[in-house]
Structures are given as structure tokens and as C-alpha cells.
Amino acid sequence: MKTQTQILLVGYAALVSTVAAALLASQVVAGSQVQKFDEIDVKRINLREDDGTIRMVISNTTRFPGIIFRGKEQPHPNRRTAGILFFNEEGTENGGLTFGGRTVDGKSYSSGHLSFDQYEQDQVIQFTHGEEDGKRRAALVISDRPDQPLDFAALAKYTAMPEGPEKAAELERLEATFGSATRVQVGKGRDRSAAVALHDAQGRPRIVLNVTAEGAASISFMDEKGKAVRTLTPTDAPASPGS
């Protein structure tokens, strides 16, 4: 014969089971419906295809991903930021949007960056801004990248190396092998001059159109060592007819 306590326990267990089943059923139904929220606080959001392929990540600094190549993540050597990363149909990073800013010891720092990557390579188009202690730079940069994919084995080796001359030398080797060559740069420098620079395939500036903050304008033609071999200013222009 069941005691009153036993009857209460059985009733409680039945009630909990019913509520749990109802919650589970509601979650199954909700999974196929659009969910609406007035506000949501998260540290990271992963947008995926139906097959699980990553297509976009929105993340804070702590949870920001490393380098994701064909769905596999590897450490990034120096990326410490928050923002958005975009991925192609194969789950490989192909662009990003990041922002930052802070004050340290009374000095302000700020940055903004939008980039588009070459297939299985790094950025070839950048919209970038940087500020450090009152000096500001903003530019559109178009670059060349090597035809071969990024060498993640070499990158992992570099990341695991202790700080020192050998690691610095390895970074130089990586940059020489897989670094970019700037081809076009349009922007404002830290000296407040505005410039358009056209570079050759080795990344060397060959033509520079420049206007200083004071308004002095010039066009410079550069040799392969970056030395101006000829510079034109408004006073060099031929006089207009009838003047």
C-alpha cells in the first residue's frame, strides 16, 4: 500500500516528465520557425550552411577565430581584435571587417579595416584607417598576392617559435615568400598629405601624385630604388594659349 509521500513523489515525477516533454516538443517546432528577439547579448555568432560549412563569424576579441582554411581552424600569429569574418563556400576565410579603439596612458589609438581576400590567400583589397597619438592614416590599398595558397605549416612553425632573432628571421622569410606587393594606394598620410601611388609588380612606387597639407601639389616619377627621377609641379606646366 502506497504511503501519501510515495503518491506525492509519483505525482511530482509525472508532472516534471510532462513539462519536460512539452518543452522538448516546443523546441522541435520552434527549430523550423523564425525566432524573433528584441535584444540579444552574445560573445560569438557562427553562421553556417545547412551542411555545417562556416560562412560568417561575428565575435568579440576573446572568441575571435584564428585562420579557418577549408573548415579547419589554425592559430593566427598576431590577430587580436573583434569584428566579422566572411568565408567562401569551402569554409575558407575570404574577407573581414574589424574595428578597435582605446586610450592608453593618455594616448588614443583607433583602427578600422575592411578587406577582401584572394582565393586561399590574404587580402588584395583593403579599406583601412589607423590612428596613434593624434596621427591618422586612411587609405584604399590594392595588392598582388602569390599564386600558391598560404603555407599554414610554415605559419604554424613560426607561431610556435619563441620570441627572438630566429623568429624575426622566419617572419621575414614568410613575408618574402608569401607577402603582398602593393599596386595601388590612395589615401591620407600621417603628415596630412593626400596621395595616389602606383606601384610595379614588386611593390615599388613608380608614380606618386601628392598634395601636402599646405596645398603644394606634385607628380613624381620614381626609379626601381624609390628615388624620384623627375618631379612635376604646377609651375612646370606649359602656359595656356593666350596667356
Residue 148 lies in a domain: no
Tell me if 197 is assigned to some domain.
yes
In this prediction, residues 120-142 reach a mean pLDDT of 93
Per the model's pLDDT, the better-predicted residue between 29 and 139 turns out to be 139
Question: For the ranges 38-42, 92-96, 218-222, 233-237, which has the lowest average pLDDT?
Answer: 233-237
Task: Answer whether residue 183 is part of any domain.
Answer: no
Burial of 115 from C-beta contacts in 10 A (0-12 / 13-18 / 19+) = buried
Establish if 213 belongs to a structural domain.
Answer: yes
Over 60: is that where the pLDDT of 23 sits?
Answer: no
89 lies in some domain: no
Average pLDDT value for the chain = 86
Q: Give residue-wise pLDDT tens across range 103-115.
A: 988 889 999 999 9
pLDDT at 241 over 70: no
pLDDT attached to residue 154:
82
Query: pTM score, two decimals?
Result: 0.74
Number of folded domains in the chain? 1
**pLDDT at residue 159, rounded to an integer:** 80
Residue 9: pLDDT above 90?
Answer: no
- State residue 12's pLDDT score: 54
Rounded distance between C-alpha atoms, residue 80 and residue 234, angstroms: 45
pLDDT per position as a tens digit, 175-218: 767 788 999 999 999 999 999 999 999 999 999 999 999 999 99
What residues make up the domain containing 212? 191-237
Minimum mean pLDDT among 61-70, 134-143, 166-175: which range? Answer: 166-175
Distance CA 69, CA 83 (A): 18
